[in-house]
Amino acid sequence: MAKQEFNDKDIARAWQKLADEKFSTSQINKQEIMNAIKLESHSSITELKKRVKYKLYWSAGFILLFATTLMFRLGNNDLVLLLGIGTAAYIAGFIPMYLKYRQIDNDAPESGEILESMKYNVRMVKSVLKLEKTWGLIIFTPAILMGILGGRVIDGWTLAACFQDPKILLTALIAIIIFTPLLIWVSDKMNKYAFGDYLKKLENNIIKMETLQ
């Protein structure tokens, strides 16, 4: 169990020492350091996969909310249309993210496959985040518009009447200009907060493992 007591500083010091000495005495410590890196990397991958799963839960929650609300509003064709579009948009974002999530492998690999497994999982997690960012860039603007229109439709307006009212269109335009970049910024910050440290740690461990091999 002693190898599990390595922390980041221990690994960094030992790795730097081995690098400076060109691994002249690496036979004593090299395997223990690699095992510590493997243990830490496995923990990071597991946490990253769990956080991607939370994103999927949020998406599934919105799909369920929109679909359920739609079922109780079947008498309002305009609201059904808006809720249908919202449901379809979240399904379109959920499916590719779920498929990428399934490809993240948090099982401990065989010794000879550790480095490739680390690189592979970094690519997969970044791919999920890129998909979400692309989805957000596409959906944020229409989502703001649909939110404003949905509020009016609930109040008894028709979509046709909404698009003929200059005040509603002006309000929607101002909201889009203000909130679209804000939503993009907030989304980016939240992903950096939730994933940034774990991805950075994993990438640093890849560099260390490449040096050790």
Q: What is the pLDDT of residues 91-100, one digit of tens each?
A: 999 999 999 9
Mean pLDDT value across the chain = 86
Instruction: Record the pTM.
Output: 0.80
pLDDT digits (tens, 9 = 90+) for 78-90: 999 999 999 999 9
DSSP 103-163: H---SPPPGGGHHHHHHHHHHHHHHHHHHHHHHHHHHHHHHHHHHHHHHHHHTT--HHHHH
Burial of 126 (C-beta count, 10 Å sphere; 0-12/13-18/19+): middle
Of the pLDDT bands very low, low, confident and very high (cuts 50, 70, 90), residue 108 is low
State the average pLDDT over residues 9-29: 59
| Residue in the structure block whose two tokens are 């509020």 | 151
Give the Cα separation of 127 and 134 in Å (integer).
10
- Domain limits of the chain? 2-212
Does the pLDDT of residue 212 top 80, yes or no?
no
- Alpha-carbon distances, residue 12 vs 9, 60, 110, 151, 209 (angstroms): 5, 41, 23, 55, 11
Amino acid at the residue 96: P
Question: What is the model's pLDDT at position 19?
Answer: 59
Lowest mean pLDDT among 28-32, 81-85, 102-106, 107-111: 107-111
pLDDT digits (tens, 9 = 90+) for 151-184: 999 999 999 999 999 999 999 999 999 999 999 9
State the average pLDDT over residues 107-130: 82
Of the pLDDT bands very low, low, confident and very high (cuts 50, 70, 90), residue 1 is very low
